[in-house]
């Protein structure tokens, strides 16, 4: 008697009917204005900063992007990855191959880096996303090591000694060094902007609601109608594509890469985790504050050599003990401020 199509979901549209962002929270004017102003201010950098300062700013934006991505994955999605270097490395290598061997234009090469990183994530996902918590973390790290080993054994990619971008390719991007640095800077700015704006919009949409819910209880989220597997997969792939893009930008500025530098755990994950933890995990402002602190420490402790890493570790432990919500958590609580409000209120 009761036909399923009529009785089960009388007036309920399928969940997919609502496109992302539809009728979700309106983006506050204040935050939008702030982002636009910050970007405009930053966009003047190539004209007002000298080369060293510009490089420093680019580096800052690169780490900011990685931290924002890692925060989305780990802080909001509960997917604590220590293998982001896999996608940075893959992105970087694909980018070099696209430019040097295939002669593709710069934007296409970056796109290729992103697509292949995303594809790699799609291949690893069925295995990795089945793992939970620490097992997932270890799984991501093992995958990254495997990627590094695979690349190091490919003569086509220069094996263990890596690849360089030919000077002719570098010249095609811009005629002089200043021009090239400016191009790289704008790429990094675009990345950081997309990472922040993208996370912000995602978290305010219903998908952000689902992501945070599945982080806290996958089981309960599933029994409330959330397709946890699909959402985790989408976020994992999206974040990997972004990490791939970061890889392109990083190695465009370095002009050469080895398996060790491309798949560096310290450079592309450890520092990034440090940034997110001291800044405040699970808040969009956290990675921004964290990156500022990280660069301040790096600048002032550069002469310490290996001791520098120990100091970073001590700072991280101190912050974790004294301010588990990170520095931004302290600031937000004391001054009751929020730059990127993602919480829904009644």
Partner 1 sequence: MLHMEIKGLSKSFGALRVADGIDLRIQRGEAVGIIGPNGAGKTTFFNLIAGDLFGDAGTVVFKGTDVTGWDARERSRACMARTYQIPQPFHGMTVYENVLVGAVFAGGRSQSQSRQHCEEILQQTHLSEFANTPASSLTLLNRKRLELARALGSSPELLLLDEIAGGLTDAECSDLVKTILDINAHGVTVIWIEHVVHALLEVVNRLVVLNAGSVLRDGEPHRVMRSPDVREIYLGVEPEADGAGS
- Interface with partner 1 (CB under 8 A): 1-4, 7-9, 12-15, 17-18, 22-25, 206, 209-210, 212-213, 215-217, 219-228, 282, 343-346
* Closest by Cα among 163, 326, 336 to 252: 163
Give the nearer residue to partner 1 in terms of CB position, either 18 or 254. 18
Output the CA angle 173-176-179, nearest 5 degrees: 65
Whole-number minimum distance, CB 232 to partner 1, in Å? 13
Give least dist CB 27 to partner 1, A: 13
How many Cβ atoms are within 10 Å of 57's Cβ, its own excluded? 19
Question: What minimum distance in Å lies between the beta carbon of 230 and partner 1?
Answer: 10
Total Cβ atoms within 10 A of residue 108 = 12
Q: What tokens were used for 38?
A: 């910050």
Q: What is the dihedral of CA 138, 140, 144, 150, to 10 degrees?
A: 100
Tell me how far, at minimum, the Cβ of 130 lies from partner 1, in Å.
Answer: 15
Residue number, 51 or 224, with CB nearest to partner 1 = 224
Q: Which is nearer to partner 1, 9 or 32 (CB)?
A: 9
Per DSSP, the three-state class of 336 is: coil
Q: How far is the CB of 95 from partner 1 (least distance, A)?
A: 36
Going by the DSSP 8-state scheme, the letter that residue 82 receives in this structure is: S
To the nearest whole angstrom, how small is the minimum distance from the Cβ of residue 5 to partner 1?
Answer: 9
Q: Which is nearer to partner 1, 168 or 343 (CB)?
A: 343
- Compare residues 86 and 342 and give the one whose CB is closer to partner 1: 342
Q: In this complex, which beta carbon is closest to partner 1, that of residue 119 or of residue 213?
A: 213
For residue 245, the minimal CB distance to partner 1 (Å) is 28
**What minimum distance in Å lies between the beta carbon of 346 and partner 1?**
4
Q: What are the φ and ψ backbone dihedral angles of 170, each rounded to 5 degrees?
A: -60, -40
- Backbone φ and ψ for 256, nearest 5 degrees, come out as -145, 155
Q: How far is the CB of 221 from partner 1 (least distance, A)?
A: 7
Nearer to partner 1 among residue 191 and residue 203 (C-beta): 203
CA atoms of 260 and 281, how far apart (whole Å): 28
How is 234-285 classified by DSSP, letter by letter?
HHHHHHHHHHHHHHHHHHHHH-EE-HHHHT-HIIIIIHHHHHHHHH-TTSTH
Contact, 266 vs 53, CB < 8 A?
Answer: no
């Amino acid at each position: 008697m009761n036909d399923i199509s009529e009785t089960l979901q009388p007036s309920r549209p399928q969940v997919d009917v609502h496109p992302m962002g539809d009728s979700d929270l309106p983006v506050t004017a204040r935050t939008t204005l702030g982002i636009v102003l910050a970007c405009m201010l930053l966009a003047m950098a190539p004209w007002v900063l000298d080369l060293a300062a510009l490089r420093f700013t680019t580096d800052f934006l690169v780490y900011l992007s990685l931290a924002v991505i890692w925060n989305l994955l780990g802080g909001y999605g509960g997917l604590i990855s220590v293998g982001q270097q896999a996608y940075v490395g893959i992105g970087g290598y694909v980018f070099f191959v696209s430019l040097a061997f295939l002669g593709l234009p710069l934007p296409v090469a970056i796109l290729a880096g992103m697509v292949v990183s995303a594809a790699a994530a799609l291949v690893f996902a069925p295995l990795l996303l089945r793992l939970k918590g620490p097992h997932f973390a270890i799984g991501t790290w093992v995958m990254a090591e495997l990627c590094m080993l695979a690349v190091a054994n490919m003569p086509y990619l220069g094996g263990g000694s890596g690849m360089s971008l030919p000077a002719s390719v570098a010249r095609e991007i811009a005629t002089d060094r200043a021009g090239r640095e400016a191009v790289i800077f704008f790429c990094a700015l675009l990345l950081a902007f997309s990472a922040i704006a993208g996370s912000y919009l995602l978290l305010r949409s219903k998908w952000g609601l689902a992501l945070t819910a599945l982080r806290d209880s996958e089981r309960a989220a599933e029994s409330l109608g959330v397709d946890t597997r699909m959402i985790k997969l989408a976020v994992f792939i999206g974040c990997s594509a972004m990490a791939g893009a970061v890889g392109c930008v990083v190695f465009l500025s370095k002009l050469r890469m080895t398996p060790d530098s491309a798949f560096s755990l310290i450079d592309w994950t450890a520092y990034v985790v440090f940034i997110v933890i001291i800044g405040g995990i699970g808040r969009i402002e956290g990675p921004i504050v964290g990156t500022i602190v990280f660069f301040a420490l790096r600048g002032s402790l550069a002469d310490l050599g290996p001791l520098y890493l120990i100091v970073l570790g001590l700072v991280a432990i101190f912050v974790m003990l004294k301010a588990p919500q990170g520095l931004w958590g302290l600031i937000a609580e004391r001054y009751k401020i929020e730059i990127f409000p993602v919480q829904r209120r009644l």
